[in-house]
Chains A and B, each alone.
Chain A
């Protein structure tokens, strides 16, 4: 059985491992790196619970092989909080009750983080389109939209206040 050496930077920390080519990135993150905040919810690339930010773009980590991530950078939910400060997206989800069971939440938040990095003032329609690859069964999406709008507002405020965004 072939094993391939990979070096991956996750949340700013660099890891090396030898993995089977078929190891899915989500299993690498959860089972090898023990970062269990990224979740698995389906087997057809449909639900987005496994969303991470890979080289700046949100992707479904269940549909990427870990070997593809060699030499690249990944941001997972565990990397959002910096120095004890929650990311505005995390804050927004808490303030606006954007989660209930919490299972889709990490993936949902990573998509939101990427959206706001690209579009700091999205409309409701734009938000709904951006999260249309992330399924939620609990919230009915209304408060997720509000959470992301909260985060957008907060990030725009700190940007205009001259403080660097998270």
Chain B
């Protein structure tokens, strides 16, 4: 058995999931069709804040084909008008008194076909008494602000206060520091907008007394547990199936009211209920990301050595705290904001605030607020460089945590596992020709042309997470794998994570192929069905490889250890006389006496040593000892059109380090996609509300996803610094580019204008925004 035959770690194996997708034979939730299926559509509020005076469903009910109209009043009788959120708050499923965001779910119609359901939604009459919206989190904290959540005991729009780091030490350093730079940054609300919207088919079958829910879910087990807690139905009677998911990126982690109402409806009517939201509904009401108002300061020596970071954040959480963070981290992993830099101290404070907007916070490939954290530090480092007249690459080299300092304890308490930041940045600078670019910039500047070079060197933090620190609703964030080897040497693997395009059916098979020496084409990976997959916390925050990938490797190694005993039996030697080499157990000193896993598998069922349990399978629930810390160095080159304010990305090089790479083709694809989702918020995307709290950007006409024309041809490269604690040395990569790209782009644009005194621009850097700056600086055409 050879590496070429096995095609395990490091091989760009063609994806095993593709055959069905390229034939249009994927099964996405809207493809699920069951006999007697009914359709659900939702009536939504046109007001951001209003009292509900009256709901008249009579016209809708009277329409032919309309089966039911469900309101909050009915749900309240079943104790379902409210549900718990993943953050320990509660959220309305359907309102009984008030609505608290534009497009909030107000009622649901059930009909025999989706066209009738759409008509019926328009026939439901709701009388509202508009109330003043609460749209600005700073205003929301004022004593006279309208209360978004009168249902809470504490009559305030302030949700929580969270701190990390050493305030006293940090303040002392700031007091004595030679240089202090400060900046306000606003990272606006954005929406992940995967091409498939959210939805479910909920089917209660009275014959089996079982509730099955096909759902756009990134975490089917966690959702099953939540459904059980919310409905009172025991977990063994609930089956959640994530079939094929058309993109998740965090948007398919929250439990949306639509899922709960559909579940209620199927329990009531004992018929399958399909609910698929429109794009408009998806943008209007589903979980957002970002919306952080940041005030950041860096204290440093005059020679550019950073000493401390101080950050205060006001986090706009919408009307319910329904972000999907680990429970002890209401601000996610934002405190990783000291970034790739060694410093003496840091202090971070975040305050969450209610506003009359939809709930959420971490649904856009952000790794639990690491996008916000890295944006902050990477901008501040450039601002410090600008203050001191230093080159942005030079200041980074000066401040990097050095390779010998790993494992590195950060001032906010994270232990970075491994990294080599100087190598990554040097590689990026060399590959892109940094010195030549600076020369070119000087020439162009002399001609009045605006060209910029931006750098971002980020540290990511993924793989949530160790049980001593991480849980969601109390459930620890381990993950799992179950592996069974069949007699003829084929394998089935079931994992607790849930792909939405990341290629798990291929990459996890490669892990097992490598560990067991079985060719990857004989290995099937399943996940997403809670009836069969082992319990896991799902896929988001780039956690699958660090957690379930580790679980898979460990489970495979357990199998290998049992296989050793069988091999020893077959070869009539002691287990200690064998070594696992070149994908077989070989007798030490006599390597042509060996047994492959195929031979051992057959023996596991036909010729196993007496006293050893037959079969060949194992499972692992992996509690990671730490998070993992991917990192990267990105360089972006931009040209600015002085006549329109348009930013053109001329070139973008991403050097990423995610430790051991399982499938380089898949990793590269993740990076291309992540860079595009980093560029989008930097230049194009923003959720905008008017003064009434009505969302203005609720279609793709105004919520601007980049096409292939706006997107540059991304250039990628890598360094490899394995994680010392991960069984494969692998770290995870999906969100690194979404994290590293925006500051690289902003840094480039600011760099293009720095000679004019520009120091910071908030994203998105739209042409209109940039043109205004060009005008102010007298360089607009």
Contact = CB atoms under 8 A, between A and B. Distances in A.
Nearest to B195: A41
Interface stretch (A2-10, A93-101, A158-166): A93-101
B56 to A, nearest CB: 24
B293 to A, nearest CB: 27
A157 interface: no
B195 A103 contact: yes
B673 A139 contact: yes
Interface string B3-31: 00000000000110111111111101011
A43 B247 contact: no
Contacts of B675: 140
A36 B709 CA distance: 28
Contact of B700 (A30, A44, A76): A44
A40 interface: yes
Contact of B669 (A41, A43, A137, A139): A139
B57 interface: no
Interface string A113-150: 00000000000100111011111111111111100000
Chain B binding surface SS class: loop
Nearest to B19: A94
Highest count of chain B CB atoms <10 Å: which of A38, A41, A81: A41
B672 A41 contact: no
B709 A128 contact: yes
Highest count of chain B CB atoms <10 Å: which of A44, A78, A137: A137
B446 interface: no
B323 to A, nearest CB: 21
B503 to A, nearest CB: 7
Interface string A18-61: 00101100010011001111111111101101000000000000
B301 interface: no
B500 A101 contact: yes
Contact of B665 (A30, A97, A124): A97
B672 A140 contact: yes
Contacts of B711: 128, 140-141
B115 A141 contact: no
B671 to A, nearest CB: 8
Contact of B709 (A101, A102, A132): A132
B115 A46 contact: no
Nearest to B278: A43
B714 A39 contact: no
A77 interface: yes
A90 B23 CA distance: 8
A133 B25 CA distance: 23
A34 to B, nearest CB: 7
B707 A132 contact: yes
B502 A100 contact: yes
Contact of B708 (A35, A78, A90, A141): A141
Contact of A20 (B115, B699, B707): B115
Contacts of B19: 94
Contact of B24 (A36, A101, A133, A135): A36
Given A103-B246, A141-B676, A142-B713, A132 B708 contact: yes
Contact of B501 (A31, A101, A135): A101
Contacts of A94: 14-15, 18-19, 22
B700 A42 contact: yes
Chain A interface residue count: which class? Answer: 35 or more
A127 B669 CA distance: 18
Contacts of A142: 672, 713-714
Given A39-B196, A101-B247, A103-B247, A44 B699 contact: yes
A80 to B, nearest CB: 8
B193 interface: yes
Contacts of A152: none
A38 to B, nearest CB: 7
A49 B3 CA distance: 39
A22 B114 CA distance: 12
Nearest to B32: A36
Contacts of B500: 101
Contacts of A46: 699-701, 705
A161 to B, nearest CB: 23
B22 A93 contact: yes
Contacts of B245: 101
A77 B24 contact: yes
Chain B interface residue count: which class? Answer: 35 or more
A150 B192 CA distance: 30
Nearest to A34: B33
Given A101-B246, A102-B17, A124-B713, A43 B708 contact: no
Contacts of B22: 77, 86, 90, 93-94, 99, 102, 105, 109
Contact of B673 (A43, A95, A140): A140
A41 B195 CA distance: 5
Contacts of A138: 247, 501, 669, 673
Given A94-B19, A100-B669, A38 B502 contact: no
B265 to A, nearest CB: 20
B244 interface: yes
Given A109-B22, A128-B709, A139-B673, A100 B30 contact: no
Contacts of B707: 128, 131-135
Highest count of chain B CB atoms <10 Å: which of A31, A99, A103, A127: A103
Given A44-B700, A131-B708, A137 B195 contact: yes
A119 to B, nearest CB: 15
B279 interface: yes
A104 interface: yes
A137 B23 contact: no
Interface in A80-94: 80-81, 86, 90, 93-94
A132 B707 CA distance: 5
B197 interface: yes
A46 B197 CA distance: 14
B673 to A, nearest CB: 5
B673 A137 contact: yes
B14 A95 contact: yes
A150 B663 CA distance: 20
Given A22-B115, A49-B195, A128-B709, A97 B669 contact: yes
A145 B714 CA distance: 12
A37 B33 CA distance: 14
B659 to A, nearest CB: 21
Nearest to A128: B708
Contact of A36 (B30, B196, B699, B714): B30
A24 B502 CA distance: 32
B2 interface: no
B503 A100 contact: yes
A43 B280 contact: yes
B31 A36 contact: yes
A17 B670 CA distance: 43
A102 B21 contact: yes
A94 B506 CA distance: 13
A37 B24 contact: yes
Nearest to B680: A137
B708 A144 contact: yes
Highest count of chain A CB atoms <10 Å: which of B245, B249, B707: B707
Contact of A135 (B28, B674, B700, B713): B700
Interface in B616-664: none
A33 to B, nearest CB: 12
Interface of A: 20, 22-23, 27, 30-31, 34-44, 46-47, 49, 76-78, 80-81, 86, 90, 93-95, 97, 99-106, 109, 124, 127-129, 131-145
9 contacts: A40-B30, A97-B666, A101-B195, A102-B501, A129-B708, A131-B708, A135-B705, A136-B673, A145-B713
Given A42-B699, A132-B707, A141-B711, 17 more contacts: A44-B700, A47-B700, A47-B705, A78-B23, A94-B15, A99-B22, A100-B247, A100-B502, A101-B195, A101-B501, A102-B244, A103-B246, A137-B193, A137-B673, A137-B676, A139-B672, A141-B676
Interface of B: 14-15, 17-26, 28, 30-31, 33, 114-115, 192-197, 244-247, 249, 278-280, 500-503, 665-666, 668-677, 699-701, 705, 707-709, 711, 713-714
